[in-house]
A and B are shown apart, each in its own frame.
Chain A
Amino acid sequence: MNVASRSPNPFEAAVADRPMKSAKPPFLGFGLGLRHQHYDEILNGNPPIDWFEVISENYMIPGGQPLRTLDRICERYPVVMHGVSLSIASTAPPNFEYLQGLKDLARRVEPKWVSDHLCWTGVHGKNLHDLLPIPYTSEALDHVVSRVQLVQEFLGRAIVLENVSTYVQFNNSEMTEWEFLSELSRRSGCWLLFDINNVYVSAFNHGYDPMTFLNGIPRDRVVQFHMAGHSHMGTHIIDTHDHPVCEDVWDLYVAALKRFGRVSTMIERDDNIPPLDELILEVNRTREIANEVLPASGKPAG
């Protein structure tokens, strides 16, 4: 199927501008990214974690222990699926085999939502397994809107897209990242996963105020926060997810709560995985800060 941007076919262009209407996903509380190192502790201990986010690709496999464990987690906790290979901004043809695998997993998991990143992972039949940046141009926006529309129709649900950490900016960008995300969400109907650490990382790397980014995102489109750690290289920050959340990112979390209200929040650790108890302390802190900043019944600000 040809979904190249700036399609000469007016019907395709019209379709691409029709946002998918969907009810805003529910507030789940304060969660954690599921990692195999913690399988036993979770299943044997029922730790006080409100929900789990699972990496979709880790379970897009034929069978065995990972899927059996996932089934048991799903029986006990709300789960959301978070992918890394949707490559929604790629100009390569859509990978329907991948999408079918994602849809099959969603049928099994019945996640509260399915998310991935505003990025691309490869073209010309190759996959670089990285969350690669895009230029913020109207051409790119048209393309991504049409791709989101296609994916949402295939999956039969609105998807959630996350802002990624970026290390470079393109000289042909015509708008800011937050303008791009806002327009993408408005035009396609996708929801946003606001990664607070990624905002901090990108803002530092490109020399702008993270509050400008935060205030540029519509209040009513954000359904999830990510909190994570990073590695500071002096002149730039790399989004390694192998450290605890730093104090600056905690401060930005407070600002995000004030703008977006109570949003499902989770701690995302991908490397240098510590014992579960250590991560639960961070999960507890997300909850405590939210209760301090938003002490009332917790109505979303939007």
Chain B
Amino acid sequence: MSDFARQQGEFQRGILTADDSVLAEILDSPREKRETLFGVYRYAYGSRLVEVMRNDHELLHLYLGDEMFDEMGHAYVKARPSQHPNLRWFSQGLPEFLHATAPYSEHPVLSDLAALEKTLNDAFDAEEANVLALADMAGFAPEVWNDLKFQPHPTASRLDLSTNAAAIWLALKNEEAPPDAATLEAPSRLLIWRQDVTPMFRELTAEEAMMWDEAATGIPFGVLCSMLATYDDPDSAAARGAGYLHGWITSGTLAGVSADE
């Protein structure tokens, strides 16, 4: 290892830990001791990353308040040092960290809230793609509808939450007092996507969520309707399927359709 590489390793260790070895290679300035000057880098490291987390998770920050959020943020910074050159991806692991790490794991609403914000952030700058329009459906003859397969828009994704984090998110967004955190009897099934430039989400019924999840794997419309028939009234299954499909298309959550068998 070159001396330059060794020195960079020491410098980095000095920032990430309390190891002061690198101070032996640093000069005092005419006005200040090296400990204080090196401390500028130490302090900036954690505070910069926590600031990024505050921006990525505005409502979790609002929910927890400055002190608790920053304490949590510094714990995340320590546990998950950034490995990507772009800060955009730094807080991607936060939902999983909150889910797996005490004391945050004792409050599952925190990881749910973080997951909702992360998924909305991901929709915000997800890749561009064609948006399927109702007019695109007009070209298909009735007899091929059973074979139609749908391609979700790259901004669209599903998220299941075990808590009322979506209601808390909405209240915080509207600058209202959030409801008490609660675990739900059945998960809250969300569809998240980007409409033009704005991330959106809405809650799906269990039946619509099932149909979306299956459609996203390439299951054709005819099979989807057969699945719907096992959920509720079989006679209206095709109409319900068409209704869900209409909603997905008009909200811009699909990128394409094909009639390949």
Does the CB pair B4–A143 fall under 8 Å? yes
Does the CB pair B87–A126 fall under 8 Å? no
Does the CB pair B27–A126 fall under 8 Å? no
Shortest Cβ distance from B129 into A: residue: A63
Instruction: Name the one of A6, A61, A95, A140 contacting B85, with C-beta atoms under 8 angstroms.
Output: A95
Q: For residue A91, which residues in chain B have a CB less than 8 angstroms away from its CB?
A: 2, 4-5, 8
Give the size of the chain A interface in residues (CB under 8 angstroms): 50
Does the CB pair B127–A62 fall under 8 Å? yes
A130 on the B face (CB < 8 A): yes
Q: For residue B45, which residues in chain A have a CB less than 8 angstroms away from its CB?
A: 128-130
Give the residues from 51 to 99 in chain A that come closer than 8 angstroms, CB to CB, to chain B: 57-58, 60-68, 85, 87, 90-91, 95, 98
A171 to B11 alpha-carbon distance, docked (Å): 13
Q: For residue A123, which residues in chain B have a CB less than 8 angstroms away from its CB?
A: 5, 8-9, 12
A128 to B45 alpha-carbon distance, docked (Å): 6
> B112-144 vs A: 1/0 string, CB under 8 Å?
000000000000111110000000000000000
Name which of B35-43, B182-190, B221-229 contacts chain A: B35-43
Does the CB pair B4–A66 fall under 8 Å? no
Does the CB pair A127–B82 fall under 8 Å? yes
5 contacts between A and B (CB under 8 A): A64-B197, A68-B197, A168-B27, A206-B30, A235-B31
With contacts A128-B15, A130-B45, A140-B4 taken as known, whether A168 is within 8 angstroms of B87 at the C-beta atoms is no
Q: For residue B88, which residues in chain A have a CB less than 8 angstroms away from its CB?
A: 57-58, 60-61
Shortest Cβ distance from B31 into A: residue: A235
> B183-225 vs A: 1/0 string, CB under 8 Å?
0000000000010010000000000000000000000000000
B101 on the A face (CB < 8 A): no
A58 to B85 alpha-carbon distance, docked (Å): 11
Does the CB pair A57–B2 fall under 8 Å? no
Does the CB pair B40–A139 fall under 8 Å? no
With contacts A124-B9, A205-B29, A235-B36 taken as known, whether A65 is within 8 angstroms of B87 at the C-beta atoms is no
With contacts A130-B45, A139-B4, A205-B37 taken as known, whether A64 is within 8 angstroms of B194 at the C-beta atoms is yes
Chain A residues with CB under 8 Å of chain B are: 4-6, 57-58, 60-68, 85, 87, 90-91, 95, 98, 120-130, 132, 134-135, 137, 139-140, 143, 167-172, 205-207, 235-236, 238
A67 to B128 alpha-carbon distance, docked (Å): 10
A64 to B127 alpha-carbon distance, docked (Å): 7
With contacts A63-B127, A66-B125, A139-B2 taken as known, whether A170 is within 8 angstroms of B32 at the C-beta atoms is no
B67 on the A face (CB < 8 A): no
A116 to B203 alpha-carbon distance, docked (Å): 44
With contacts A66-B125, A98-B85, A130-B44 taken as known, whether A169 is within 8 angstroms of B31 at the C-beta atoms is no
Main secondary structure of the interface of B (DSSP, over half): helix
Q: For residue A169, which residues in chain B have a CB less than 8 angstroms away from its CB?
A: 26-27, 29
B48 on the A face (CB < 8 A): yes
Q: For residue A137, which residues in chain B have a CB less than 8 angstroms away from its CB?
A: 4
For the complex formed, measure the closest distance between the CB of A35 and the CB atoms of chain B, giving whole angstroms.
Answer: 13
What interface size band does chain B fall in? 35 or more
Does the CB pair A87–B85 fall under 8 Å? yes
Shortest Cβ distance from A62 into B: residue: B127
Does the CB pair B2–A4 fall under 8 Å? yes
A271 to B81 alpha-carbon distance, docked (Å): 23
A154 to B180 alpha-carbon distance, docked (Å): 54
B94 on the A face (CB < 8 A): no
Q: For residue B194, which residues in chain A have a CB less than 8 angstroms away from its CB?
A: 64
Does the CB pair B8–A120 fall under 8 Å? yes
A302 to B19 alpha-carbon distance, docked (Å): 46
A175 to B2 alpha-carbon distance, docked (Å): 19
Does the CB pair B8–A167 fall under 8 Å? no
With contacts A122-B12, A126-B81, A130-B44 taken as known, whether A61 is within 8 angstroms of B5 at the C-beta atoms is no
A241 to B152 alpha-carbon distance, docked (Å): 42
Instruction: Name the one of B2, B86, B127 contacting A5, with C-beta atoms under 8 angstroms.
Output: B2
Does the CB pair A121–B85 fall under 8 Å? yes
A64 to B194 alpha-carbon distance, docked (Å): 9
A87 to B84 alpha-carbon distance, docked (Å): 12
Give the residues from 26 to 84 in chain B that come closer than 8 angstroms, CB to CB, to chain A: 26-27, 29-32, 34, 36-38, 40-41, 44-45, 48-49, 52, 81-84
Q: For residue A171, which residues in chain B have a CB less than 8 angstroms away from its CB?
A: 25-27
Does the CB pair B4–A135 fall under 8 Å? yes
B176 on the A face (CB < 8 A): no
Does the CB pair B11–A65 fall under 8 Å? no
B3 on the A face (CB < 8 A): yes
A241 to B27 alpha-carbon distance, docked (Å): 25
For the complex formed, measure the closest distance between the CB of B131 and the CB atoms of chain A, giving whole angstroms.
Answer: 12
Shortest Cβ distance from A170 into B: residue: B25
With contacts A121-B85, A169-B27, A205-B29 taken as known, whether A236 is within 8 angstroms of B4 at the C-beta atoms is no
B159 on the A face (CB < 8 A): no
Shortest Cβ distance from B83 into A: residue: A125
